[in-house]
Structure formats: structure tokens, C-alpha cells
């Protein structure tokens, strides 16, 4: 990614996260505003889902960052704004809602409340919406209305969501392709897809990353952001992403392992940098599963353990800046302060060129 791909502005450096003389412009590319209170739960599955969420939250968070269960069920827009933008170092955040209408009467992600916040704070928030191709033509008509109302630049898809007797769909399904064709037509370029750890009671295999391959091949002018980078199928994801230049890795859920399993996290981020490149990895806190402040602090301070550096390269400040915000800013046309677009230190060395460089090599002519 070059500076020509981001809009650089001046005079907005004051509130950025700064460490060791470096300014970091942070785009939290995966946040949510949900309501999982009992009165919104339609059935036992609504409780199962939020309880599983809470287990992820308390098991991967530092003890001081663990919320009381009742607060976790619903926290509201005012707390979101404080946690992200007052306490959390975030400069811009992107809503990635999951509807889950089979489990929650008014949906899990709160569309109206989240969109109202984005309208009130357009310099801080971008609202992405969701769709489900199993609603066929009715849903396709709704997508067109939603694109106009929400001025959508991106959508969030949940392929394991239940609908009627169906317990998931694939991006390669015929109706899914019709929706992706509509996204092309409507200018919705960023397709965020949950392809990561399952959440009770959803089916693990319905989150399999394999269907991203065909969709990315057939819709080359769309960006497919694979949220949670395919975990637990990281290797499958990497082999797809290395051949499909429009496939990106979303780090939500992966980053918190920096606390509980730092070597596992080191392997995740190193594999991503080897197979993809530093321009196709996006930071996300997955708020309110985790709050961004401690994740950002830990990520900026993190370095690949020395005993792993024979195979993996150290992380550089430039790489961290791109992952924390510059990459997402380029996808969403978010202005970036000039002070964050440059790097003054040279700690670390660039990651070794791996299969991520294969695309440029493949374009070179060869002699017969």
C-alpha cells in the first residue's frame, strides 16, 4: 500500500495513540452494538449464544478488563463511544453487525441505534449492514433499499446463521452470487465474512473458509475481508489468500491471544505476513467482546519472540501502523493524519518475501 491509496490530511494528530515518538492512526474495523438481554431472547439459543460470547470475553481478557455479565448483555451507545474513542485510542470504527433473527426478537446487532450513532458521528463511525441470500428476491430488494439508506461501503455476512430449517449457506450458492452481483452494482466493495471460531449453537463447518475461494475468484473487484482470519482453519485461509489478491485478513478474535497465548499469536500474525502481506491485514477489537485499549497497547509493544525469529521476521513499526489503521482507511476512504502516514523509526526488518510475492513474480515474462 502506498500513500497514494490513502487520503492524508493535516491538523488532526492530537488524539492519536503515540508510543516512542510514533503516531498510530487506529481504525477498529470490527465493532458491534448488541442487545442480548433476556427480553430480546426468543429461545434458549439466544442465551447460549451470548453465554458463549461471554466465555470468550472473560477467558481471553486480562482480569481488570472483564465486564460483569449483566453489562455485557447490553451496554448501549454512550458506553461504546467512551470505550472506543475516549479510553480506547480508536480514531475510526466500523460496525459489523450480526442479525441472528432466529435467536433475538429485535435482532442481536442493533441496527437503528448503531446507525444513529454513525449519523451523529460520521467522522468516527462507519455503519456496515448485513444480508442473508436465503431471503432470495425479497432480501435482494431489501439490500438495494439498505444500500441507499445506509450509504453502504461494506456488509457483514454470517454464513452459519440459522434461517428456518437452514443452518447456514455458502458464498458460492446461486443466490449469494446474485447478492454479490448487486454489491458490485451498488458500489458495496467490502464484503466482511465471519469465517472463524464457532459460537454455540451454530455449526462449525458452516463457517468453513473454503467458499471464499470461488467468490473471490469470480468477483475480483470486491474485497473479501475474512473476519477472524479463518480460525481454526488458518492454513486453509492462507492458501486461499495467497492466490487471491482481493482477500484480506480481519484480526478480530485473533488479537486477544496476545494476552493468553502470546506465542500462538506470534505464529498467527507471522503466518499472515508470510502468506499475504502487510497491506491486507486489518485490526479489529470485536468490541464489546474485548475493549480496544489494551489490545492496541499490547499490539504496539509486541515483538516476535527471539527464538522464533529464525523462521519469522520481527514486526516493524510500519507494519503495525498499516495493520492498526492504514489498511482499513484505504478500503473505506478514511482520511489519515499526515503524522501517522510516515514512520520515523526503523526497528525491525521487513518480513521475508514468501508466497505473498508470488503474484508479482507470476506476471513477469519467462523465456521459452
Give the model confidence (pLDDT) of 60-96 as tens digits.
999 999 999 999 999 999 999 999 999 999 999 999 9
% of the chain residues with pLDDT over 70 = 89
Largest CA distance in the chain: 70
Domain 3-362, what fold? TIM Barrel (3.20.20)
Residue 257, SS3?
Answer: helix
Higher pLDDT, 104 or 4: 104
| pLDDT band per the 50, 70, 90 thresholds, residue 204 | confident
pLDDT value at residue 251: 98
Strand partners, 125: 93
Of 107-116, 183-192, 234-243, 349-358, the poorest mean pLDDT is in: 349-358
For residues 157-165, give the mean pLDDT.
93
pLDDT for the residue numbered 338: 86
Q: How far apart are CA 196 and CA 207, in angstroms?
A: 6
Categorize the per-residue pLDDT at 2 as very low, low, confident or very high, splitting at 50, 70 and 90.
Answer: very low
Q: Which residues contact 301 (CB under 8 A, 6 or more apart)?
A: 19
* Closest listed residue to residue 97, CA positions, set 80, 109, 106: 109
Structure confidence at residue 364 (pLDDT): 35
For residue 367, pLDDT over 70 is answered with no
Average pLDDT of the segment spanning 325-332 = 98
Whether the pLDDT of residue 107 is over 60: the answer is yes
Using the CB atoms, write b or e for 230-259: b if 16+ within 10 Å: bbebbebbbbbbbebbbbbbbbbbbbbbbb
Higher confidence at residue 357 or residue 141? Answer: 141
Residue 366: the pLDDT is: 33
pLDDT the model gives residue 277: 87
Question: How far, CA to CA in Å, does 203 sit from each of 41, 157, 168, 208?
Answer: 19, 15, 8, 10
pLDDT of res. 358: 42
Residue 365 has pLDDT above 50, yes or no: no
pLDDT, residue 70, reads 98
Indicate whether 339 pLDDT > 90. Answer: no
Q: What is the mean pLDDT of residues 142-152?
A: 98
- What per-residue confidence (pLDDT) applies to 15? 79
Report whether pLDDT(10) > 90.
no
Per-residue pLDDT tens digits for 242-296: 999 999 999 999 999 999 999 999 999 999 999 998 999 999 999 999 999 999 9
pLDDT confidence bin for 350, thresholds 50/70/90: very low
Q: Which of 359, 276, 357 is nearest to 323 (CA)?
A: 276
pLDDT band at 353; cut points 50, 70, 90: very low
What confidence category does residue 360 fall into, taking pLDDT thresholds of 50, 70 and 90?
A: very low
Domain-by-domain residue ranges, the chain? 3-362
Amino acid at each position: 500500500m502506498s500513500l497514494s491509496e490513502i487520503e492524508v490530511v493535516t491538523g488532526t494528530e492530537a488524539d492519536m495513540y503515540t508510543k516512542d515518538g510514533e503516531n498510530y492512526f487506529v481504525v477498529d474495523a470490527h465493532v458491534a452494538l448488541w442487545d442480548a438481554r433476556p427480553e430480546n431472547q426468543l429461545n434458549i439459543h439466544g442465551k447460549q449464544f451470548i453465554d458463549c460470547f461471554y466465555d470468550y470475553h472473560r477467558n481471553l481478557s486480562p482480569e481488570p478488563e472483564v465486564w460483569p455479565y449483566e453489562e455485557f448483555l447490553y451496554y448501549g451507545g454512550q458506553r461504546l463511544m467512551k470505550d472506543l474513542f475516549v479510553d480506547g485510542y480508536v480514531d475510526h470504527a466500523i460496525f459489523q453487525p450480526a442479525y441472528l433473527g432466529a435467536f433475538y426478537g429485535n435482532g442481536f446487532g442493533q441496527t437503528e441505534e448503531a446507525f444513529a450513532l454513525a449519523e451523529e458521528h460520521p467522522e468516527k463511525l462507519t455503519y456496515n449492514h448485513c444480508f442473508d441470500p436465503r431471503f432470495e428476491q425479497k432480501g435482494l430488494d431489501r439490500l438495494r433499499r439498505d444500500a441507499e439508506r445506509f450509504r453502504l461501503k461494506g456488509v457483514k455476512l454470517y454464513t452459519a446463521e440459522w434461517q428456518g430449517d437452514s443452518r447456514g449457506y455458502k458464498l458460492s450458492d446461486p443466490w449469494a452470487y446474485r447478492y454479490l452481483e448487486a454489491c458490485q452494482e451498488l458500489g458495496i466493495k467490502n464484503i466482511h465474512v465471519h469465517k472463524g471460531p464457532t459460537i454455540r449453537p451454530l455449526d462449525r463447518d458452516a463457517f468453513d473458509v473454503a467458499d471464499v475461494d470461488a467468490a473471490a475468484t469470480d468477483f475480483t473487484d470486491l474485497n473479501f475481508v475474512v473476519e477472524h482470519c479463518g480460525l481454526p482453519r488458518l492454513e486453509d485461509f492462507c492458501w486461499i489468500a495467497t492466490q487471491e489478491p482481493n482477500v484480506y485478513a480481519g484480526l478480530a478474535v485473533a488479537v486477544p491471544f496476545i494476552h493468553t497465548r502470546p506465542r500462538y499469536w506470534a505464529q498467527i500474525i507471522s503466518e499472515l505476513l508470510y502468506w499475504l502481506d502487510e497491506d491486507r491485514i486489518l485490526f479489529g477489537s470485536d468490541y464489546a467482546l474485548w475493549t480496544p485499549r489494551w489490545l492496541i497497547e499490547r499490539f504496539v509493544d509486541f515483538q516476535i519472540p527471539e527464538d522464533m525469529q529464525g523462521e519469522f521476521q520481527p514486526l516493524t513499526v510500519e507494519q503495525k501502523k498499516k495493520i492498526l489503521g492504514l489498511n482499513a482507511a484505504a478500503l473505506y476512504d478514511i482520511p489519515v493524519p499526515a503524522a501517522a502516514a510516515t514512520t520515523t523509526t526503523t526497528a525491525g526488518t521487513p518480513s521475508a518475501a514468501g508466497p505473498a510475492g508470488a503474484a508479482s513474480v507470476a506476471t513477469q515474462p519467462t523465456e521459452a
